[in-house]
Structure 1
Amino acid sequence: MPFPPTSDPELFERRGYRKKLRIANFITQSGPAGLWGPAATNSTLLAASEINRRGGILGREIELSFFDAGGDIDDVVRTAREIVSGEDADIIMGSHISAVRVALRKVIAGHIPYIYTPVYEGGERTPGVMAIGEIPRIQSRPAIEWLANVKRASRWYLIGSDYVWPWLAHKATKKYIADAGGRVVGEEFVPLGAQDHSAQLARIRAAKPDVVLISLIGTDSILFNRAFGKQGLGAKMLRLGGAMDETVLLGIGAANTDNLFCASGYFIDAASRDNDAFRGHYESAFGRHAPPPGSIAQSNYEGLRFLETVATRAGSVAARPLLTAAANIDYQGARGNVRIRRGNARMPIHLAEADGLDFRLIQTF
């Protein structure tokens, strides 16, 4: 992966003299995606603690700082610019919506390595940005094929939040729907923070889809799915969620989760040695009643595990060797073995169906 000529090798050398590895974490603590903030923070702290007990990254103890990525995007960008210009961090890590990533990379890329952890639309090729989340080709395509083959689903209605992830994810999923012999009978994008979904639900009812594919984010998804359930639509059509996890499910409520499916690289109840270890350490650190670390939150844990592996291979956290090593590498996280090839992450994808307030895994692809 080429690195732009604006990078400053001497800057990375100066940062390398620090005893501690300073990581600035842009985690969404407010707005529709803010419900993941507490568990995301916990997951980051857990990974840093584990790595520091192993001696840190290349002998340097991780030192974390946290910034809210859920406010006005211009304010978030201004904070990132100040961090970069002030040489206040060696690495930036982000768990936030893609609209923030697109804005941040303009001031971060080329100056400081930037690890983006959650599910996203794919196609990130900005030099300096490393994305490790699920992309539609590995997340949505097998779920769409399963619903077409097993549930005989052919009519699809797509609804998402009005920003870059749903825009581009829907573009990809339309092809997967067509490849599975289905057709899209409706599509719309809803402004972030919308409270009333009655108009969208009326259009969905009229279109009579077999499946509603939902790319709404955080509390927006909760409000939509609550209203969907209360109108009795759960008994009439299936739902397939994108950025949905156990935290969202708790918000929706058990009475509103009929025929609700989700595809993800991580579920809390996925049975594996890696996940058992992660869950055990998380509970030991934060208690049984801590916010559940669903897929979005857990991705922050994986972000530091990824950095540890990449830095060890590169022998450095300087941009050029770090980015070269990150392009093709395997690492272990709570999802198990994750393979990065040409900058794209691949991992087993699980399809789950909501069972009250839990997800019951029914298929792994």
Structure 2
Amino acid sequence: MAHAPAGSPGAARAAAGPRIGLLTSKSGPGSLFAAATENMATLALEEINADGGVAGGPVELLAADDATDPATGVLEALRLVRSGCSTLFLMTTSATYAAVSAALADAGVLVVQSHMNEGGGENRLRIRLGERPAGQLAAAAAPMMRAAGGRRWFLAGNDYVWPREVNAAARVILPAVGARLVGERYAPLGTEDFTPIVEAIATSGADVVLNGFVGADAAGFERQCHAMGLRERTLSLGPAMDEVTLERVGAPAARGIHGVSGYFQQLATDRNGTLLQRYRAAFGPWAPPLSTLTESVFEALHMWAAAARRARTTDPARVADEMRVGRFEFPRGTVTLDGTDRVQQRLYLAEAHGAGFTPTSSADVAG
């Protein structure tokens, strides 16, 4: 089946049904995820429209690029709204989410961040789905220390809101389970040489590195850790480490890397098996791998459509109210929302093997 790419903002013709927007990072450090994100949005939209659409017509999706830059994200979000999108789905950095949320404060637009995030800033028209750092660390800390045979952790990441919130959660959760924190360092987005941080980790004697880097930076950091011999003495846990990033890391440097999330491509659920078959049939064997970041867009679009059908409207506030309460069966398993802006789901700790992850343990968490 041939698939046309999602539309771009500014089309002149009137939409037959509702328009929604997708803002993601097609360029910049976050661009690793763009192709799979758009693929999953396209697949979800086809399924939604094949099932009758929403509000009496097919849903149209317009996509835009924030270039991994909050200011660009605001301009593109405003352009999507001017093009008739009353709901925007963001698969971007938290910095872009915060900037867009503020810029659209009086616009009456529903903004949904589909993937893992640090939480905060929710209101009636702001929904943040996905995993939260506290839940991820609660699920992963003890088994990571057992695997490492030690309790010393080094916290490293990009110098922006999400990694800093990950490490803030780590400073609370890790000592409570017997961990010892031996260092903390940051680098700007787009860093290419992580030598000072890798050397600091080696000097600290850490057993586990909490990798709070994202996208291309996370891959570059892990490759440099491997090249400088750090993986011989430490394991790595990346809350945002997914299949797309791992593919960029490369098989030689993958040993010792772990991720923790609600979805991995190798999850053995019936719905995931069916999804993977549809994905490969639609986009071919060389399409980028799925991950919790990109699969979350597929889920969020289906949640929006189900909520709009229940509400019998696409009014952003009424749809948001419906989205916040419900139990959904997705490829990752059961996802429950109880109106508290926290997602109940099973989180998996998974170990990298080549370009994929094998889940090794799991826990049910909220948030």
Structure 2 contact 153–179 (Cα < 8 Å) conserved: yes
Partners of 2:248 and 2:32 lie apart in 1 by: 10
Match of 2:256 among 247, 255, 259: 259
Instruction: Determine if contact 2:30/2:68 at 8 Å carries over to the other structure.
Output: no
Deviation at 1:78, TM superposition (A): 2.0
From 334, 347, 352, the counterpart of 1:354: 352
Q: Which moved more, 1:307-316 or 1:193-202?
A: 307-316
Once the two structures are superposed, residues 8-67 of structure 1 have per-residue CA deviations (whole angstroms, 9 ceiling, x without a partner) of xxxxxxxxx963110111011111110110111100000000110000123331101110
Say which SS state the counterpart of residue 348 (structure 1) adopts. Answer: strand
In structure 2, the partner of 1:275 is 272
Inter-partner Cα distance in structure 2 for 1:227 and 1:69: 28
C-alpha distance 58-152 of structure 1, shift in aligned 2 (>3 A): farther
Contact 1:234 1:257 in 2 (8 A): no
The aligned counterpart of 1:154 is: 151
Tell me the equivalent position of 1:9.
none
Q: Distance in 1 between matches of 2:110 and 2:129?
A: 14
Tell me how far 1:151 sits from its aligned partner. 4.0
User: Aligned AA for 1:175?
Assistant: V
1:1-365 equivalence runs, <5 A = 19-84=16-81, 86=82, 88-110=84-106, 111-149=108-146, 151-341=148-338, 342-365=340-363
> How far apart are residue 90 of structure 1 and its match?
2.4
CA contact (8 A) 1:28 1:70 kept: yes
Unaligned segments of structure 1, at least 5 residues: 1-16
Where does the alignment leave 5 or more consecutive residues of structure 2 unmatched? 1-13
1:152 to 1:315, Cα distance in 2 relative to 1, 3 A: farther
| Number of the residue aligned with 2:6 | none
- Distance in 2 between residues matched to 1:327 and 1:174, nearest whole Å: 30
Match of 1:12 in 2: none
Q: What TM-score, normalized by structure 1, do the two folds share?
A: 0.91
Contact (CA 8 Å) 2:17, 2:54: kept in 1 or not?
A: no
Distance 2:349 2:69 in 1: 34
Whether the 8 Å contact between 1:93 and 1:116 is mirrored in structure 2 is yes
Tell me the distance in 2 between the aligned counterparts of 1:49 and 1:237: 44
CA distance in 2, matches of 1:76, 1:251: 25
Distance 1:139 1:57, change over 3 A: farther
CA distance in 1, matches of 2:168, 2:115: 19
Identity of matched residues, %: 30
Q: Which amino acid aligns with 1:107?
A: A
Alpha carbons 1:141, 1:173 under 8 Å: kept = no
- Counterpart AA for 2:301: L
Give 1:325 deviation, angstroms. 1.7
CA distance in 2, matches of 1:91, 1:205: 46
Query: How far did residue 264 of structure 1 move?
Result: 0.9
Q: Deviations over 1:71-91 (max 9, x none)?
A: 54222212322433x362121
CA deviation map 1:132-163 (0-9, x unaligned): 11112322211012223554431110111111
The DSSP-based 3-state class of the residue aligned with 2:226 is helix
- Aligned-residue offset at 1:319: 2.5
In 1: Cα distance, 2:234 partner to 2:63 partner: 41
Quick one: structure 1 residues 149 and 71, their matched pair in 2 at CA, closer, same or farther if it must change by over 3 Å? Answer: closer
Following superposition, the deviation at residue 327 of structure 1 comes to: 2.3
Name the SS for the 1:193 alignment partner: coil
Moved over 6 A (4+): none
> Number of paired residues?
348
SS at 1:92 equivalent: strand
What amino acid is the match of 2:278?
Answer: H
* TM-superposed deviation, 1:180: 0.7
CA contact 1:90–1:112 (8 Å) conserved in 2 = yes
